[in-house]
Amino acid sequence: MRFHSPQKLKSIADLIGSEFVGPEDFVVLGTNEIHRVKPGDIVFVNHPKYYDKALNSAATIILIDKKVDCPEGKALLVSDDPFRDFNKINTHFTRIYNFTEELHDVEIGEGTRIHSSAVIGNNVKIGKNSLIFPNVVIGDRTEIGDNVIIQSGTVLGGDAFYYRKLNGNFDRLISVGNVVVQNNVEIGNNCTIDRGVTDSTVIGEGSVLDNQIQIGHDTVIGKKCLIASQVGIAGCCIIGDEVTLWGQVGIASGNTIEGGSVLLGKTGVNRDLKKGTYIGMFAEDFKGYLKKEVKLRNLK
């Protein structure tokens, strides 16, 4: 999430009541989740296991629960609860409506048709010649391109599935990102595409999604991908261009699938994959899988 205007380190520290390490006028441009951080971003970390990853990331401001050595060219915000204060910063700069207020400010391009039963949030942009079917829900800040088809019951921009356990209960990281659907995309019935925690969940140009697909927060789907029914993609994944995912493929959080890959039905992914064709619970190379099957069948 980028702020509407640059902020200073001290003003952010004052907002959350934290100590800071670095110049008072150190520039802060926004916040981001660790997988999507850029220079000028705040990233939060609240466990020693992940200190190095956060401190050495592209983020230049680290919201952390312990004062540590600050890398050169970076700054720290030292908080007793970085998770809480990350939420506080995000909701200070991004208003959360959740359909409780109909302010709208919706841009709709020429030739676009939207069924009267569709529900549209605030600050939504829809391009030209798109078609929105009955009972579609489009959350705040969603951006939809030209010549897009979204079929009935699909939800764009639901909350990210991102929690921590606190005092025996689940505490949500509030989602202030959005969904971006590029030109010439088709999305089937009853799909759910979560908005980014602090960035965009992206469906690339020309991609086609079947029915009942779940796509997690901050995931980026490339151009001209083909995704069959009941695929589940967790948050922060990168799916390259022209990838085919057949029915019931499951991809764990934070993994990258190289462009041109094909994942056959029910393939499970728990690591990054180079271009290829895969099958099985742990995404085996398909040719290798066939050779193994032949050997097993020939055992006597």
What is the share, in percent, of the chain residues with pLDDT greater than 70? 100
Active site residue 217: yes
Two tokens at 223? 């151009």
Residues 144 and 85 in one domain: no
Two tokens at 70? 């600050």
Tell me the pLDDT tens digit for each residue of 231-247: 999 999 999 999 999 99
Backbone Cα Rg of the chain = 21
Distances in Å between the alpha carbon of 288 and those of 172, 276, 291? Answer: 42, 11, 5
DSSP letter, residue 44? E
CB atoms within 10 A of CB 200: 20
Distances in Å between the alpha carbon of 286 and those of 250, 281, 282? Answer: 16, 12, 11
| Residue 124 pLDDT exceeds 90 | yes
Q: What is the band of 293 on the pLDDT scale with cuts at 50, 70, 90?
A: confident
What is the rounded distance in angstroms from the CA atom of residue 49 to the CA atom of residue 152?
Answer: 43
- What CATH number should be reported for the domain holding residue 121? 2.160.10.10
22: left (phi over 0), alpha (psi -120 to 50) or beta: left
Mean predicted confidence (pLDDT) in 62-84: 97
The answer to whether 16 and 47 are in contact (CB under 8 A) is no
- What CATH number should be reported for the domain holding residue 25? 3.40.1390.10
Residue 267 is predicted with a pLDDT of 98
Tell me the pLDDT tens digit for each residue of 159-205: 999 999 999 999 999 999 999 999 999 999 999 999 999 999 999 99
Residue 138 is predicted with a pLDDT of 97
| Residue 9 pLDDT exceeds 80 | yes
CA within 13 Å, CB half, 114: 19
Residues 117 and 70 in one domain: no
What is the rounded distance in angstroms from the CA atom of residue 128 to the CA atom of residue 153?
Answer: 21
Average pLDDT, the chain: 96
Of 4, 47, 92, 217, catalytic:
217
Tell me the pLDDT tens digit for each residue of 247-271: 999 999 999 999 999 999 999 999 9
The answer to whether 197 and 219 are in contact (CB under 8 A) is no
CB atoms within 10 A of CB 290: 12
| Residue 94 pLDDT exceeds 90 | yes
Residues 6 and 70 in one domain: yes
| Residue 101 pLDDT exceeds 80 | no
What is the rounded distance in angstroms from the CA atom of residue 90 to the CA atom of residue 105?
Answer: 21
Burial of 59 (0-12, 13-18, 19+ CB in 10 A): buried
pTM above 0.75, yes or no: yes
Residue in the block written with tokens 């605030």: 122
**Is 82 part of any domain?**
yes
Boundaries of domain holding 176? 106-288
What is the rounded distance in angstroms from the CA atom of residue 108 to the CA atom of residue 154?
Answer: 19
Q: What is the band of 300 on the pLDDT scale with cuts at 50, 70, 90?
A: low
- Among 42, 59, 93, where does a domain finish? 93
Of 12-21, 76-85, 97-106, 212-221, which gets the smallest average pLDDT? 97-106
Residues 22 and 157 in one domain: no
- Among 48, 68, 93, where does a domain finish? 93
Vertex 259: Cα angle to 221 and 184 (nearest 5): 45
What is the rounded distance in angstroms from the CA atom of residue 262 to the CA atom of residue 284?
Answer: 12
Residues 216 and 251 in one domain: yes
| Residue 83 pLDDT exceeds 90 | yes
